[in-house]
A and B are shown apart, each in its own frame.
Chain A
Amino acid sequence: MITIENLTKIYNTPGGKIRAIDNLTLHVEKGQTFGVIGLSGAGKSSLVRCINMLEKPTAGKIFVDGQEITALRGPQLRAARRKIGMIFQHFNLLSSRTAFGNVAFPLEIAGVPKEKIKAKVTQLLEVVGLADKAHAYPAQLSGGQQQRVGIARALANDPKVLLCDEPTSALDPHTTRSILTLLKDINRSLGLTILLITHEMRVITEICDMVAVIEDGRIIEQGPVVEVFMHPRAATTRNFVSTVMNVEVPEAVQRRLATREDGERTQLLRLKFLGEAATRPAISSVVRECGVAINILAGNIDCLQDTPFGVLIVELIGDPPERRRALARLAATGLSIEVIEDV
């Protein structure tokens, strides 16, 4: 649905040229919720803004729904933009218009007749749960409500693609969740393709199917969220994963382990489990069958959308042969095991 080929964006500033996007290639399938995550200045905003040509690419091609956006000018570009919805970090609503007026705006721009506008806007405000706020001005709405108006506005011309530039970064965690849920609902019910950029891993795990990690204008890692989450390779990706899954050995445990004497008989493991494995009583059966003891030191269990996902730090206690047997048994249950060497 979105294909980006060798995109480069260079800003000419008085201080010199800034290469915000560097030969970036990316593909988003129809119906996907694709997340792009990166640190501040990585080039995330530049990337989404190139997709609807709010920013003119320096080089490269962008296709949306088979149409080469980067080749369009004037009226053709404006027509194409109607099929690409966009929501913003700071909502960007017209303060002089009510919620109704804001949602009506894109329809007026497209020259839709008045009666049709009224019906469409009423329906959209219902979809985003703001039917009762139709006549409120943005200044009278909370951040979450303003973003709902922004979403309704973005959907007004029945776009095929929704671009989201940090849609929840100005919202509190509770409101963030409700906005993300709304986006996911829209993605499912309308089959809308969503490209979302964020600097929060939480947002990715909550609604995205696919994720790309962007650094210095390049994609350093990408894949299904579950895959990238389970096996992050790049250091930046690991850092992002650890922001939602803090799986370090607690300091108190580290101190205790450093001062104990039978260190020879214990091993520290980091176990990651996904989906099925999480529900299986893997650990207890290993303890029963292999003659070892397992001490859970730290852990975190969460959901990647509908899939349970967890990380445990455990202490495996036993003689070396039993421990080896236990490790093999654990691996066989589908757990991902990492032996932590230096405690």
Chain B
Amino acid sequence: MFENLGPLWPQICKATWETVYMTLVSVLFATVIGLPMGVILVLTDRGHILESRLVNTVLGWFVNIGRSFPFIILMVAIIPFTRLVVGTFIGTTGAIPPLVVAAAPFVARMVETSLKEVDWGVIEAALSVGASAWQVVYKVLLPEALPGLVLGTTITTINVLGYTAMAGVVGGGGLGDLAVRYGFQRYMPDVMVVTVIILIVMVQVLQSLGDWLARKVNRR
């Protein structure tokens, strides 16, 4: 029953690497973009230290629009943008911009939720000793919310991992693409089974790693 695995093994390895690569690079860039957006969403909220109705509303809308696009449509819709940024819209690299664009708003909301969990009293204590907005962010909000941020990043990573399966549409490769092309279109159930098992293992490892790390940084 596993007769296809032998000859296809190099492809499976390559696809696994492509999935890992797409996921990690996308999460990295999504965090670089989404984290500041989340922080700004919190700081400009009503009653917060940099309250701004305008910034909060505009950014909120922007994030919501990003989140409401189905990934498969988003991927096609931003092809010109993808081309502009990475020079191509196909291949593993071409899959990364749409993944980042899809994940960044998710990261922004995740960061927003985590930071809002921080007790307002602690922020006031920091303000009362003369902390600036920037000091409040990097000395209070981010360290205090770290366990939540770790768990949120874990969820983001697992979500992006799921999205990469669709990246096959733009020739991005990866495990999902392999499963569709060989497992489904050429009817090789063993390839299908193996890719699914690899994905399950990845998700399990990510979640355990996230849980462990969140526990480690939690001082409550």
A153 contacts B by Cβ under 8 Å: yes
A332 contacts B by Cβ under 8 Å: no
A197 contacts B by Cβ under 8 Å: no
Interchain CB contact under 8 A, B220 and A95: yes
Q: Which chain A residues border B140 with CB–CB below 8 Å?
A: 94
Bitwise, A46-59 to B at CB < 8 A (1) or not (0) is: 00000010100000
A157's closest neighbor in chain B, by CB? B129
Interchain CB contact under 8 A, A90 and B128: no
Q: Which chain B residues border A95 with CB–CB below 8 Å?
A: 122, 144, 219-220
Interchain CB contact under 8 A, A81 and B128: yes
Interchain CB contact under 8 A, B129 and A156: yes
Indicate the size class of the contact surface on chain A: 20 to 34
| Interface SS of chain B | helix
Instruction: List which A24-40 residues lie within 8 A (CB) of chain B.
Output: none
A105 contacts B by Cβ under 8 Å: yes
Interchain CB contact under 8 A, A79 and B130: yes
A110 to B128, CA, bound (A): 12
Q: Which chain A residues border B219 with CB–CB below 8 Å?
A: 95-97, 137-139
B58 contacts A by Cβ under 8 Å: no
Instruction: List which A59-97 residues lie within 8 A (CB) of chain B.
Output: 75, 78-82, 84-86, 88, 90, 92-97
Scoring A54, A94, A108, A150 by chain B CB atoms within 10 A of each residue's CB, the highest score goes to A94
A191 contacts B by Cβ under 8 Å: no
B68 contacts A by Cβ under 8 Å: no
Q: Which chain A residues border B122 with CB–CB below 8 Å?
A: 92-95
Bitwise, B95-123 to A at CB < 8 A (1) or not (0) is: 00000000000000000000000010110
Bitwise, B127-169 to A at CB < 8 A (1) or not (0) is: 1111110010001100110100000000000000000000000
Q: From B121, B139, B217, give the contact of A109 (CB < 8 A).
A: B139
B147's closest neighbor in chain A, by CB? A96
A-B contact sample (12 more), CB < 8 A, given A93-B125, A106-B130: A81-B127, A81-B128, A85-B129, A88-B121, A92-B119, A92-B124, A93-B122, A95-B219, A105-B139, A108-B139, A109-B135, A153-B129
Name 26 interchain pairs, CB-CB below 8 A, sorted by A: A54-B124, A54-B128, A78-B131, A78-B132, A85-B128, A86-B128, A92-B121, A92-B124, A93-B125, A94-B140, A94-B144, A95-B122, A96-B144, A96-B217, A97-B143, A97-B219, A106-B129, A106-B130, A109-B139, A110-B129, A138-B219, A139-B219, A153-B125, A156-B129, A157-B129, A157-B130
Q: 7 tightest A-B contacts by CB?
A: A106-B129, A92-B121, A92-B125, A78-B130, A81-B130, A86-B128, A96-B143
